[in-house]
């Protein structure tokens, strides 16, 4: 079954040349939730993290600055060190220490050696990862020289799954995390969550291909027609031979199932264009620093789907191939396409698939069905949990618990949480499962109409739309408020005038999100 490959690392020399970034390792428990009779029997592993203290300075009254903590997600943590400009660009103004922590089973944080997921993936859970982060931060603050970090409030940042982790850190460990910036966090991407409708994902992908989002007016209609022709051709041998030639496949399609795989392969490209629909060239999605996707990649792809190419079905399928080539031939030298080494199928196994099969459930291809009516793809039928269960049993010997994350962390119910900002982009299909409205005065939703997947966490550029500029300003204003609250609460606690919890943020509140379309 096709599945999206998760990005690996590329390095931004501007970050690494600052001379402050130190790679460290923390001795971490393998299992936080079972006790051994003897400490010597406790299994441990080395968890990698990066720390920068260059900007860490005293604030008002000589109190040390905050800690900006990135909750690493499903890749080598260096990817996030490289990409998270919101932290780097604000650290000096806040006098902040910077910490990026790597998620267990990814990058160099391998409990059982290389490819630990092949040895024993059972310790790869959200609960264990959150406990890792809380434990590391707890000891880092306690063990800092002269207790310098003891009073430093920790602000969690994260995007996508990392955004889910940052929000859940605030929910689960509010005594460790003073506030959380959760960008493009699909915390409601679980069957059974009220309002969950997986088809919405592809409707947002389709929106990116409309004139309203800056794409060619003919794009949606012609993409839909092309997929219809493709599905027809894949049903018989002569049609598959034609289709294999039109798509320039290295290996001809052998049966209708492979024809379906080709359709998913093409659909996966549009998924990537929507997630990575950034206003500047970026390698965050292509994972090739030397060959980034163009600015506004959905618009670039849609230039291939203009009316002039729609004279007959073969022209439309060739146009669809050329549109997908914006991703799959980003180097410009691909002679033929191998469905097994490019696109969603390339990420078919690995630790992310295990996490998806146990707790997370948030995988778009091929399990979020399109309709071919409310989107530009084809009718994939209803959401089918039995297909997912069959894959997970075969691949991992597990059966998913699709409601477990919602039970554990509340789904969309953040009424009892505080100091979290959820940001979502109008171009990002994962916003279908995000917190889109203010939950309370202190759990705030920010809408970024021209934003793709956690664009607000990226480095600022002159090409940034006004809405993302405003979103970053709003986020950091909230962060400053949380820091001030934390310091006030600590002072009150030390003076004997109150508890250590402090008051929650009081902002404009209301039932609607803060839409930051200032264009």
| Alpha carbon distance 44, 47 (integer Å) | 9
Q: Which residue shows structure tokens 């031939």?
A: 329
Q: Which residue shows structure tokens 């180097």?
A: 331
Residue 106 DSSP symbol: B
Residues 6+ away with beta carbon under 8 Å from 256: 234, 235, 240
> ∠ CA 5-321-219 to the nearest 5 degrees?
100
| Alpha carbon distance 178, 166 (integer Å) | 11
Question: C-alpha 225: how far from its chain's center?
Answer: 31
8 Å CB contact between 457 and 156: no
Residues 6+ away with beta carbon under 8 Å from 372: 224, 227, 228, 378, 379, 380
Q: Name which of 405, 402, 382, 403 is nearest 392 in CA terms.
A: 402
Could you say which of 132, 428, 456, 464 is catalytic?
A: 428
Q: What is the largest CA-CA distance in the chain?
A: 82
8 Å CB contact between 31 and 123: yes
Q: Which residues of 357-374 are buried (b: 16+ CB within 10 A; e: fewer)?
A: bbbbbbbbbbbbbbebee
| Alpha carbon distance 229, 286 (integer Å) | 28
291 is a catalytic site residue: no
Could you say which of 10, 103, 132, 160 is catalytic?
A: 160
Residues 6+ away with beta carbon under 8 Å from 357: 388, 391, 392, 395, 396, 398, 400
Per DSSP, the chain holds a count of helices (H) and strands (E) of 16, 9
8 Å CB contact between 430 and 201: yes
Other beta carbons within 10 Å of 325: 17
Could you say which of 103, 304, 453, 454 is catalytic?
A: 453
453 is a catalytic site residue: yes
Question: C-alpha 20: how far from its chain's center?
Answer: 26
Three-class SS of residue 336? coil
Active-site annotation, residues: 160, 428, 453
């Amino acid at each position: 079954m096709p599945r999206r490959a998760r990005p690996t690392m590329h390095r931004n020399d501007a970050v690494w040349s600052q001379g402050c970034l130190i790679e460290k390792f923390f001795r971490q428990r393998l299992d936080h939730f079972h006790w051994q009779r003897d400490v010597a029997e406790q299994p441990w592993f080395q968890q990698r993290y990066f720390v920068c203290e260059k900007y860490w300075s005293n604030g008002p009254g000589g109190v040390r600055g905050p800690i900006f903590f990135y909750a690493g997600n499903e890749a080598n943590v260096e990817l996030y060190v490289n990409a998270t400009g919101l932290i780097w660009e604000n650290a000096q103004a806040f006098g902040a220490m910077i910490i990026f922590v790597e998620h267990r089973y990814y990058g160099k944080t391998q409990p059982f050696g290389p490819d630990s997921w092949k040895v024993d993936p059972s310790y790869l859970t959200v609960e264990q990862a959150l406990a890792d982060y809380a434990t590391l931060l707890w000891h880092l603050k306690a063990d800092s020289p002269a207790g310098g970090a003891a009073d430093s409030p920790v602000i969690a940042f994260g995007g996508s799954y990392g955004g889910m982790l940052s929000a859940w850190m605030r929910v689960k460990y509010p005594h460790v995390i003073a506030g959380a910036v959760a960008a493009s966090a699909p915390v409601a991407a679980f069957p059974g969550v009220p309002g969950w409708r997986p088809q919405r994902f592809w409707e947002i992908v389709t929106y990116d291909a409309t004139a309203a989002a800056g794409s060619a007016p003919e794009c949606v209609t012609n993409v839909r027609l092309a997929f219809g022709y493709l599905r027809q051709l894949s049903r018989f041998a002569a049609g598959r031979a034609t289709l294999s030639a039109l798509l320039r496949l290295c290996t001809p399609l052998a049966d209708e199932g492979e024809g379906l795989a080709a359709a998913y392969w093409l659909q996966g490209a549009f998924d990537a264009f929507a997630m990575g629909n950034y206003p500047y060239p970026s390698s965050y999605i292509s994972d090739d620093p030397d060959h980034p996707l163009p600015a506004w990649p959905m618009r670039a792809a849609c230039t291939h789907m203009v009316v002039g190419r729609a004279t007959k079905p073969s022209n439309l399928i060739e146009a669809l191939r050329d549109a997908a080539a914006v991703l799959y031939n980003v180097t410009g030298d691909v002679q033929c396409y191998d469905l097994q080494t490019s696109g969603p199928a390339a990420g078919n196994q690995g630790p992310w698939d295990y996490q998806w099969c146990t707790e997370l459930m948030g995988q778009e291809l091929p399990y979020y069905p399109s309709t071919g009516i409310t989107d530009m793809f084809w009718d994939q039928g209803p959401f089918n949990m039995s297909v997912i269960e069959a894959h997970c049993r075969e691949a991992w010997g597990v059966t998913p618990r699709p409601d477990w994350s919602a039970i554990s962390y509340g789904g969309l119910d953040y009424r009892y949480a505080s100091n979290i900002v959820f940001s979502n982009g109008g171009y990002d299909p994962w916003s279908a499962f995000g917190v889109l409205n203010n939950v309370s005065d202190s759990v705030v939703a920010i809408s970024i109409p021209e934003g793709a997947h956690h664009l607000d966490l990226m480095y600022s550029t002159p090409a940034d739309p006004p809405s993302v500029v405003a979103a970053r300003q709003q986020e950091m204003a909230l962060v400053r408020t949380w820091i001030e609250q934390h310091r006030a609460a600590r002072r009150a606690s030390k003076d004997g005038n109150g508890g250590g919890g402090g008051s929650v943020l009081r902002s404009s509140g209301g039932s609607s999100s803060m839409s930051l379309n200032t264009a």
